[in-house]
Structure 1
Amino acid sequence: MNITSLSVDELQAKSRKRFSGRRFVLWQGDMTKLKVDAIVNSANKSLLGGNSMSEVIHQAAGPLLLRECATLGGCEVGDAKITKGYNLFSKAVIHAVGPEYSVEPEGAEEKIKSCYKKCLEICEQYHLRSVAFQLISCGTYEFPLQQGAQLSVDVVTDYIQKNPKSSLNDFVFTVTKNNEVDIFKQVFEGSKQLEEDKEYIEKQKQKELDKHKYKDKQKQKEQEQKKEQDKKQKEQEQKKEKEQDKKKEKEQKDKKKDKKKDKKDD
């Protein structure tokens, strides 16, 4: 079965915003299908898989990812390490180790902030332009979703403000559940820093306009084709009528000839 990759432009996003010219995209789906420079894996300290999303990433990337992770010697909470993407559509995987909020809530927020910041620094180090995040520590480790979503956006905007020449341009915030979409939308819409992606909106308007123009052209083409078909059909019918008239005329002439012949014979 062929699996299609999805670039940032192709995503059916739940929300699109801009900050300092950069694109902030909220997307619901499987991040292993994303064609970005790096995806962020919310990993445990061993980096060898364990939680559900981490297992999905390892499965999609293939055994070489696990082999490389085994050479890294694990990773401390609040830190992150990078590997190749292998069979993924992304070039790289950044493995960030968030705190277990359900076990040790104290200091969890600062450690999660540290994870996001470290991911951004790694992207900068490798001159990456696009990165897809999943919510760090918000699943199995039970960090509050609303707080986690707000925190992820705040860390990224703060990083861009402090690093205006950053190579990063596209930030995809990926979620899988409907309630996560609702929470992230609230964060996106409630942010005073994020602006509407006017460029994308204009592109979509132009696409719709082009679609309508194409439909109108197709309709006109179909009408012209039908007109041409009707014309041909009418010509064929007229031709057929003429042939039938000629046939009748010939039959009448033949009948007259036969009558004359009969009279002559009498």
Structure 2
Amino acid sequence: MTVHEQLVVTALSVSYGRRKAIDGLSLATIRAGTVTALVGPNGAGKSTILKALAQIVPSTGALLFGSTNLRLLKPRERAGLIGFMPQALPQGTELTVIESVIVAMQGAVSKGGLERQAVAVLQRLNIVQLSLSSLDQLSGGERQLVSLAQAIARSPRLLFLDEPTSALDLARQLQVMQQVRALAEEGAAVIMVLHDLSLAARWADQVIVLDRGRLYATGSPQDVLTPAMLADVYGVHARVERIGDQVVVLPESAVPPRSTV
């Protein structure tokens, strides 16, 4: 990793059939070594953007990381550079937890070191006790942690996480966010979709607010998470409390719908 690596996204567009989900979106520069939260209401386009950045869904526009054009990477190069955590792992697999992490690392780690490295990743997330469990035997929260293990197994420099804490209890949420911060400090550029604005406020260096596929605002949590934004984008009246350098969002009531007359 070089200190100058940064992700630049310009004129990103994604279509589903005739419907344009994202139309010419350009994002603020995302630097390596930082955590960026994508936030916005349901249907804002957060997951679509994340999948487009990971090149899981077709898109157009420029995707540059440092001097690397992400669109020109071969599949193996892309897999070594990018880690992606979906909202949920697919059902109906007979793999054990450790087997699934080994599969995620193939091609990036020498064959002799695969099992050792897989165990190290599971230990990092404090789930090594699940190593021999079948994925289909796990709870939703356990599957989410295994999905994170798969995403970070190759030590990616770009890490895309789609709602990494949605199925976790408070203790596990804290553990995951601590690991996300640690991965950034180790040099990764982390971009994550979050619904919990208080988590975004506490852990993200930069917050990108999306509204119906468009960029609404970008900046620090203190600058972006405001009562005006919450009313405009989320349709709620809310207080935003600052405790030390932390921001806490406290929704109070829904904004009355606008008259169409």
Give me the TM-score of the superposition, normalised by structure 2: 0.35
> Structure 1 or 2: larger strand share?
2
TM-score normalised by structure 1 residue count: 0.35
Instruction: Report which of the two has the higher share of helix.
Output: 1
